[in-house]
Amino acid sequence: AQKITQTQPGMFVQEKEAVTLDCTYDTSDQSYGLFWYKQPSSGEMIFLIYQGSYDEQNATEGRYSLNFQKARKSANLVISASQLGDSAMYFCAMSPWNYGGATNKLIFGTGTLLAVQP
């Protein structure tokens, strides 16, 4: 069964430091997409970054980068220069493909709660 595992329930980081949030996934599909979402205390889901399984380069979006290691089935999120506003829950998600192509649905991990300290 396809599964996303986030092993860090909670993390602390000092303001202006970098932090890595871990994500591993389990799938036998050759094609899939990997996503990271941020959920602040206000509750909305905010898209951060996307990586396709055939993308050779790691995705980057501003201060966010995705460290994609396909052989290890890991898709860690790196946040550089943490800010107080980065304090939130972070979810890793996978979009599987099937014989018909992309399913577009998301399988989520249980999330990591990040607290940025001044």
Partner 1 sequence: DAEITQSPRHKITETGRQVTLACHQTWNHNNMFWYRQDLGHGLRLIHYSYGVQDTNKGEVSDGYSVSRSNTEDLPLTLESAASSQTSVYFCASTRGAGYEQYFGPGTRLTVT
User: How many Å apart are CA 17 and CA 70, to the nearest integer?
Assistant: 26
With respect to partner 1, which residue has the nearer C-beta, 16 or 70? 70
With respect to partner 1, which residue has the nearer C-beta, 15 or 79? 79
Exposure string over 43-57, b if 16+ CB within 10 A, otherwise e: eeeeebbebebeeee
State in angstroms the smallest separation of the CB of 15 from partner 1. Answer: 27
State in angstroms the smallest separation of the CB of 56 from partner 1. Answer: 15
SS (H, E, C) 5-42: ECCCCEEEEECCCCEEECCEEECCCCCEEEEEEEECCC
State in angstroms the smallest separation of the CB of 91 from partner 1. Answer: 6
With respect to partner 1, which residue has the nearer C-beta, 13 or 35? 35
Interface with partner 1 by CB under 8 A: which residues?
4, 33, 35, 37, 43-45, 47, 50, 52, 91, 93, 95, 97, 101-102, 104-111
